[in-house]
Amino acid sequence: MLDKKKSIQEEKAILVGLVHQSQTEEQVIEYLEELAFLAETAGAKAVKRFAQKLPHPDSRTFVGKGKLEEIKRYVEGKDIQVAIFDDELSGSQISNIEKILDIKVIDRSDLILDIFARRAKSAQAKTQVELAQYQYLLPRLKGMWSHLERLGGGIGTRGPGETEIETDRRIVKDKINLLRKRLAEIDKQAFIQRKDRGEFIRVALVGYTNVGKSTIMNLLSKSEVFAENKLFATLDTTTRKVVFESTPFLLSDTVGFIRKLPHHLVESFKSTLDEVRESDILLHVVDISHPNYEEQIGVVNKTLQDINAFEKPTITIFNKMDLYEQNTFDPWLEEGVRNEILNDLKERWEEETHGNCVFVAAIEKRNIELLRTSILSKVREMYRIRYPYKSEFFY
Ligand SMILES: Nc1nc2c(ncn2[C@@H]2O[C@H](COP(=O)(O)OP(=O)(O)OP(=O)(O)O)[C@@H](O)[C@H]2O)c(=O)[nH]1
Ligand SMILES: [Mg+2]
């Protein structure tokens, strides 16, 4: 029962989102675009999107009955295996919707957990994801049972009684406890390792997923960190010692953030995010070519607050300037007008970040020297503050 197959690799999917009152239609289009990208990262193909304006989700079926009928009419007779909802669903909502649509139903959290599970490489990441998966499952067990009951529902088959559900709950709870203990052990080891790193200033790359953190890590540290155009390419933190003009420091590449990151996932990734929490300087990478980049900045800041890593000295790196220019400017636009638009943008963010920002195109290595200079001056400033009497040892 606990092996309910969730993988959606090579399946065709429809996407469903709700438009709340406070959201604009453009935002919801962008959200579903992101959900489609998540589905693609998990190996599925989104063939159709449905959105409904509702003040509150329907407690039984999430979207309204009429909308669900519309979706059912679309799905019927087509080669579609899964419906993906953009918000977290309860166990009973999942089974109610599955009853009506007669295809598999998963939600955004499920999808993100599935991607994380497939990408996890280290024992730490694997344990963290597994823990989050069981925590997500626990409150949904009952709904899933009633779903199974229906599937096996011929005459004479008896549905599960409370005992079976209770047995399952106990199995899941035991598993959660076991994983927690295992994680605590791994965390202890990681903590000891981090302590071994001495007195170096620590710098962490943070940001929304797919903004170019690993690409920048590679440029700055000449390492080969896995970077690709998929969400959550990086799950494990990579730390390298870097030396700029004889000043050494530690640079870490970390897991990307996303809106509505499942709560349990943030919880169990806390130890991976220790690297961020314990760092001295943050490099907040932003994909300025993304239509929702300002909202993404907000999501990252909120997540940093959640893990108690806010209000650290930060350099905001506006990346993908090449794509931004390509998307914003018509080829015939005069050079003067272009520069004016670019200057306005830069001035606005210079003001907002108190001068702590750099505009780069990592893919073209544009402005990387300037970025190095900004990082170096921040790192040296931190050494001076941290070790007023011996900071000269570090450069
Ligand atoms: N056009 C353009 N693409 C870029 C730039 N920098 C990175 N990319 C591309 O953006 C995609 C994501 O890059 P990554 O470095 O993997 O991004 P990340 O932030 O580490 O992503 P996650 O680890 O998945 O959170 C890759 O396809 C990169 O080649 C840039 O300056 N311009
Ligand atoms: Mg990465």
Residue 252 Cβ < 6 Å to ligand 1: no
From the CA of 230, give the closest atom in ligand 1.
24
Residue 218 Cβ < 6 Å to ligand 1: no
Residue 25 structure tokens: 């239609």
Q: Which ligand is nearest to the CA of 220?
A: 1
CA of 223 to the centre of ligand 2 (A): 13
From the CA of 364, give the closest atom in ligand 1.
31
Residue 38 Cβ < 6 Å to ligand 1: no
| C-alpha dihedral (225, 229, 235, 236), degrees to nearest 10 | 0
- Residue position matching structure tokens 């449905």: 50
Where does residue 228 rank: exposed (0-12), middle (13-18), buried (19+ CB within 10 A)? exposed
Q: Which ligand is nearest to the CA of 210?
A: 1
CA distance 378 to 250: 13
Nearest CA among 201, 366, 365, 207 for reference residue 283: 207
CA of 229 to the centre of ligand 1 (A): 6
Q: Which ligand is nearest to the CA of 321?
A: 1
Amino acid occupying residue 383: Y
CA of 320 to the centre of ligand 1 (A): 8
Residue 233 Cβ < 6 Å to ligand 1: yes
Q: How many helices (H) and strands (E) does the chain have?
A: 14, 10
pLDDT digit of tens for each residue in the chain (395 aa)? 344 445 677 889 999 998 877 777 788 888 899 999 999 999 999 999 999 988 889 999 999 999 999 999 999 999 999 999 998 899 899 989 999 999 999 999 989 998 888 888 888 888 988 999 999 888 887 666 554 444 444 444 445 566 777 788 888 999 999 999 998 998 888 778 777 667 899 999 999 999 999 999 999 998 667 777 778 777 778 888 899 998 999 999 988 999 888 878 887 777 778 889 989 999 999 999 999 999 999 999 999 998 888 889 999 999 999 999 999 999 889 999 999 999 999 999 999 999 999 999 999 999 999 999 999 999 999 999 988 876 565 65
CA of 227 to the centre of ligand 1 (A): 6
Is pTM beyond 0.85? Reply is yes
The pick from 215, 224, 265, 289 for probing ligand 1's pocket by mutation, whose C-beta has the most ligand atoms within 8 angstroms, reads: 215
The pick from 37, 40, 211 for probing ligand 1's pocket by mutation, whose C-beta has the most ligand atoms within 8 angstroms, reads: 211
From the CA of 321, give the closest atom in ligand 1.
31
What are 165-189's pLDDT values in tens digits? 778 888 899 999 999 999 899 888 8
Q: What is the per-residue pLDDT for 6?
A: 56
Long-range Cβ pairs for the range 193-197 (8 Å, 24+) = 194/274, 194/275, 194/278, 197/239, 197/250
Residue 212 Cβ < 6 Å to ligand 1: yes
CA of 11 to the centre of ligand 2 (A): 26
Q: 193 Cβ partners below 8 Å, 6+ apart?
A: none
Where does residue 194 rank: exposed (0-12), middle (13-18), buried (19+ CB within 10 A)? middle
Helices 65-75 & 91-101, crossing angle to 10 degrees?
50
CA of 190 to the centre of ligand 2 (A): 20
Residue 246 Cβ < 6 Å to ligand 1: no
CB 223, CB 217: distance < 8 Å: yes
CA of 59 to the centre of ligand 1 (A): 39
Residue 149 structure tokens: 């009951």
Residues comprising the chain, all counted: 395
What is the arrangement of strands in the sheet containing 281-287, beginning at the earlier edge strand?
Answer: 238-244, 247-253, 202-207, 281-287, 314-319, 357-359
CA of 242 to the centre of ligand 1 (A): 21
Where does residue 226 rank: exposed (0-12), middle (13-18), buried (19+ CB within 10 A)? middle
CB 143, CB 91: distance < 8 Å: yes
CB 19, CB 51: distance < 8 Å: yes
Q: What is the three-class DSSP state of 300?
A: helix
CA 376 to chain centre: 28
Residue 254 Cβ < 6 Å to ligand 1: no
Helices 108-119 & 25-41, crossing angle to 10 degrees?
30
